Amino acid sequence: MELDFFFQQLITGLSNGMIIALIAIGYTMVYGIIELINFAHGDLFMLGAFLALTVVGAFGLDAWAGGGTWMGVLLLLACSAVFCAGLNWTIERVAYRPLRASGKLSLLVSAIGASFILVNLGLFWGGLPMEVFAGGVAAAAPKDFPPLVPNTNLLGADSLVQLTPKDLLVFGVTLPLMLGLTWIVTRTRLGKAMRATAQNPIAARLMGIDTDRVIGATFLIGGALGGFASVIYALYNNTISFQMGYRAGMDAFTAAVLGGIGSMPGAVAGALVIGLVRAMSDGYLETRWTNTIVFGILVLILIFRPSGLLGSRAKEKV
Amino acid sequence: MRARLNPILLFFAVAAALPLFFGATGLFYDAFQSIFVFALVGLGLNIITGFTGMLNLGMAAFMALGAYGFAILTCDIYPFQIGFWWGLLLSGAIGALAGFLLGAPTLGLSGDYLAIVTMGFGEITLDVLKNLEAITQGTQGINPLPRPTIGGWSIELQDERSWYYLLLVILGVAVLLVRHLERSRTGRAWLSIREDALASQCMGIPPKRTRMIAFATGSAVAAVGGALFAALLSSTGEPNSYDFQVSILALCIIIVGGMGSIAGTLIGAVVMVGMNSLVLVKIADWLGSRDHGASSNVLASPNNWKYLIFGLALILVVRLKPEGLVPPRLEGDAGAVPPQPPKSRSDAPRGGASA
Amino acid sequence: MSLLEVRDITMRFGGLTAVDGVSFDLRQGEILAVIGPNGAGKTTLFNAITGVYEPTQGSVKFRGSEVRRQPDAKLAIRSAAVAVLGAISTFVALNAQPIWLAAIDANYVLGKPFPWQKAFADAWTTARAVPLVWGIIPAIVGAITGAATVLALWHRLRRTPDLIARAGLARTFQNIRLFSDLSLIENVLVGMDSRLHCGYWTNLLRLPAFSREHSRSTAEAMELLEFAGLADRAHAAASSLPYGHRRRLEIARALASKPAVLLLDEPAAGMNPSEVTSLMQLIQRVRDRGVTVILIEHHMKLVMGISDRIVVLQYGRKIGEGTPLEIRSDRRCIEAYLGAEDEL
């Protein structure tokens, strides 16, 4: 009994953790390259989910069955990824790049502003008069996301531990993505340019790297990951709301800091920890204290080890 | 000194005269009472972020602590019942204490991280207030709260005009005190940290202690704002009244108004809160009166545009007029050069050619 | 006894040794110049002396002793206080609700006077009844964490720039660090901070001591601005100053603390010849006021013109020390400077 419950929490925690990881990587990549906490990232993720729901409604994806469902999922992944990538890139171009010379506070404030604008877009989107949005009547209310991926327990109907196609979906999408990302960062010229720009933008420019394009590419990739995450989240949790970006963003940012901001493996590790902590807290303590615990971890990490679990404490020559 | 005092004096003069000359309606009083209360919160944030350069995204927490502190100490469902004025004073003390407790471990962090910590603190405070129901009445809020009494005279809730002037006076006292600090050794130490933390330290100014005092002062002022907010409603309201949106509202107030400028905070409050409480309401009324009935169109309700307006305000101001509507100006400056927009610097000394 | 004794200062950053075993003395009343090609470690040396960096090895003694916080009663009291605070806050954080319920909720009846003594007794009883794992153990953890943090922080910050500045070493910076949005006189007043006495409450309430100190300090700040030739713009923003004047403001600001030693980092950088000449006169007048000066400089005319002694660094090591005459004829020093634009 006890062990089953534990395993259940483990699975839930890991699945949620992987979703958070995709978002966390977005935060950590952007911070690593321009030292900006992209507040808008979580809300970007939220809009990706709203787009996914729109696509479901527009193409009637909830009516596709069997093998068609998986085609539908792929379609959603592609659409949201492209949308979020483009949106992220646009935000960088329009709201962040012009302010790069004005100092970090201006950038941060701009990010907060962008975040708020996106939230409002989500609110408006919820009022879209489509059936999937419940006719657009209660724009602010959470929306149901059709269960395109079934909830059947793969371990057998009487097993107390539930492993569903949803969990497989999570891992099936996130793992290849992370491998792909690792490949990009370590094996391609772009990846090298990204790492160089992150370490020393001036030197990178002197070496002929177009740092503006590299930064744009970083936002593209980060955005795409957020888009993927949004679809998986929607399919996993079957509900979306215009305020989900805030919570998810906080979790993801905590994960990124926990693992060491700027470090991609750190973001993943941190996200898994956060996912597990959430699951264990929900399961063994009380749900209402879970947020406090997560934020508490964030505060404690920042106080005692700001460089995070996997980050290094490099002494900078000044 | 003369040129600087003017915008502030102007604000108070106009505010004092306003109800006398214009037909003051309930809406007007509601709006301006909100403006004064949030001006206090903005004033507190201005000390922390505007003067000292530490971005604080959790001001709502201090406002909440002030409100709940006031409520617990004065409401008759608890045994303390110390009355309006003592409640106000102690709520400020609670804010200061919270500022110290939060600041002590965190003020060594760099700007970005400190911002996140304050945001986290805002969330934690909210959750704690919601969850410790026995103490805080959870999501119900604490009510009713006592009236302020001066001599034998007690200001009833409906006496909008007296509340208006009471809040104005309290705001005035707060502004005066903050002004005293700004134009003193204490304030200069704060400003020097914002301008160049390393140089400030090399002048002998102890960074941690100075920041803590700024933090505690700012939190105290915001807490008093919170207490007044609650007293005005005769209720704390639910904990969600003090959520992240409120922290961002405070941020908008000081950025749109002008960071580091007390006059800017006052004007910023008028603009941001006035927009919320007056303009949006008026637009909603006007739309309603145009016979559309209860439109189910999400775009039709002005309230649904709030986030967008906040966000745009922040981005536009930071892009086009970063020094805000009323930038801080210098002492005795008939002929001084206009100040540069506030820049933030990283804390590390810059290299340049190594020597 | 020398005013400043720099002994075997070494600064290592990861694999890079920026300063390697540099030693020299600073004598009261002299002007000492530290010169050397770029990358020789001069500013790093300054940073080590003024506490911006903690030397990897070596020591700096000012008036015979190292400027460093010593463990004392205050530290002990602070650790103890924080430990107690940590214990109490952790305990309260975890058990606030049950204690409140037992002490306040249970005893309070609207209209009747509240039995405070009983409430305290009930609170105490409930607190004592709390199981170990929710009560004493977290409290101990809180206490230890609190005390450990205080001590760890203290240890990391034993030698900080503000401590050293207050001891009597003032400095300017290679990349002029003024408080741009403050006025000239405010800049100087910040420099004077260590000599001002009015505290928070005096300032908040404008007690009488405030105006006394205010007029005294303002007058003194004006005098310093006059000394630096900047009095006519006292209330303008520092950012409005032309480049040549900024350095002078920095010097005036540094002098405001009445330091025993003034460290100038490349004061003549970016100046034209006539500005350099007035800078030389200014530095000499500074010395005449009783301040000992160390300066880093590339401008040879200035160095040779006003220094009493010179220390030469190259690749982090001292390769020469002596009077200008001696250094001029030292072959190693000349070789180190082959390629320098100014003549020796």
Shortest CB distance from C97 goes to which of B132, B207, B333? B132
| Prediction ipTM score | 0.90
Touching chains, C (3+ CB pairs < 8 A): A, B
Q: Give the amino acid at B31.
A: A
Based on its alpha-carbon atoms, the radius of gyration of chain A, rounded to whole angstroms, reads 20
The larger pLDDT score, comparing residue B329 to residue C248, is at C248
Q: How far apart are the first and last CA of chain A?
A: 58
Cα(A218)–Cα(B6) distance, integer angstroms: 48
Judged by phi (left if over 0) then psi (alpha if -120 to 50, else beta), residue B146 lies in: beta
Q: Do C47 and A315 touch (CB under 8 A)?
A: no
Is A109 part of the contact surface with chain B (CB cutoff 8 Å)? yes
Confidence of residue B346 (pLDDT cuts 50, 70, 90): very low
Q: Is A102 helix (H, G, I), strand (E, B) or coil?
A: helix
Whether residue B4 is predicted with pLDDT greater than 60 in this model: the reply is no
Mean pLDDT (whole number) for B149-173: 83
The gap from C-alpha A224 to its chain's centroid, in whole angstroms, comes to 9
Which residues are CB-contacts of B115 (< 8 A; sequence separation ≥ 6)? Answer: A37, A108, B55, B56, B57
Q: How far away is chain B from the Cα of C175, in angstroms, using its nearest Cα?
A: 7
Mean pLDDT (whole number) for B34-49: 96
Is C148 part of the contact surface with chain B (CB cutoff 8 Å)? no
Q: Do A314 and C16 touch (CB under 8 A)?
A: no
User: For residue C89, which residues of chain A lie inside 8 Å, CB to CB?
Assistant: none
Cα(A272)–Cα(A277) distance, integer angstroms: 8
DSSP tag of C241: S
Side-chain half-sphere CA neighbours of B3 within 13 A = 13
Q: Are C135 and C15 in contact (CB under 8 A)?
A: no
Instruction: Give the pLDDT of residue B347.
Output: 37
Q: Do A317 and C47 touch (CB under 8 A)?
A: no
Q: Which domains does chain B have, with CATH numbers?
A: 26-289+299-320 (1.10.3470)
Cα(A1)–Cα(C252) distance, integer angstroms: 76
* Cα–Cα nearest to C327, from C304, C305, C343: C304
Instruction: Give the pLDDT of residue A108.
Output: 87
Whether residue A309 is predicted with pLDDT greater than 80 in this model: the reply is no
Looking at chain A, which residue has its C-alpha nearest residue C152? A304
User: For residue C39, which residues of chain B lie inside 8 Å, CB to CB?
Assistant: 354-355
Q: Which of B123, B297, B320 has the highest number of chain A CBs within 10 A, making it the mutation to test binding with A?
A: B123
Looking at chain A, which residue has its C-alpha nearest residue C153? A304
Query: Tens digits of per-residue pLDDT, B70-87?
Result: 999 988 888 888 888 999
Touching chains, B (3+ CB pairs < 8 A): A, C
Block mean pLDDT (10 aa), chain C, length 344:
89 90 93 89 92 91 89 89 88 85 82 83 85 85 87 85 94 93 94 94 94 94 94 90 91 95 93 91 93 92 93 90 89 71 53
Instruction: Give the pLDDT of residue B291.
Output: 54
Instruction: Give the pLDDT of residue A88.
Output: 95
Instruction: Give the pLDDT of residue A6.
Output: 87
pTM of the predicted protein model: 0.89
Q: Do B304 and A123 touch (CB under 8 A)?
A: yes
* Cα–Cα nearest to A236, from A24, A46, A19: A19
Q: Which domains does chain C have, with CATH numbers?
A: 4-68+161-336 (3.40.50.300), 73-156 (no CATH)
Instruction: Give the pLDDT of residue A230.
Output: 95
Whether residue A273 is predicted with pLDDT greater than 90 in this model: the reply is yes
Cα(A234)–Cα(A236) distance, integer angstroms: 5
Instruction: Give the pLDDT of residue B65.
Output: 95
DSSP tag of C337: T
Cα(A145)–Cα(A135) distance, integer angstroms: 14
Q: Which of C13, C193, C295 has the highest number of chain B CBs within 10 A, making it the mutation to test binding with B?
A: C193
Query: Tens digits of per-residue pLDDT, A113-159?
Result: 999 999 999 999 888 888 778 777 777 888 888 888 877 787 777 77
Whether residue B334 is predicted with pLDDT greater than 50 in this model: the reply is no
Share of chain B above pLDDT 90, in %: 43
Instruction: Give the pLDDT of residue C248.
Output: 93
| Mean pLDDT taken over chain B | 84
Which residues are CB-contacts of B293 (< 8 A; sequence separation ≥ 6)? Answer: none
Q: Do C165 and B203 touch (CB under 8 A)?
A: yes
Q: Are C41 and C314 in contact (CB under 8 A)?
A: no
Cα(B249)–Cα(B273) distance, integer angstroms: 8
Q: How far away is chain A from the Cα of C322, in angstroms, using its nearest Cα?
A: 29
Query: Tens digits of per-residue pLDDT, A276-297?
Result: 999 998 888 888 888 888 888 8
Looking at chain A, which residue has its C-alpha nearest residue B127? A292
Q: Do B244 and A119 touch (CB under 8 A)?
A: no
Q: Which two tokens stand for residue A96?
A: 């962040």
Which residues are CB-contacts of A297 (< 8 A; sequence separation ≥ 6)? Answer: A254, A258, A274, A277
Query: Tens digits of per-residue pLDDT, A244-259?
Result: 998 899 899 889 989 9
Instruction: Give the pLDDT of residue A294.
Output: 87
Instruction: Give the pLDDT of residue B296.
Output: 62
Q: Do B120 and A109 touch (CB under 8 A)?
A: no
The larger pLDDT score, comparing residue C124 to residue A19, is at A19
**Chain A to chain C, count of Cβ pairs less than 8 Å apart?**
13
Query: Tens digits of per-residue pLDDT, B201-232?
Result: 999 999 999 999 999 999 999 999 999 999 98
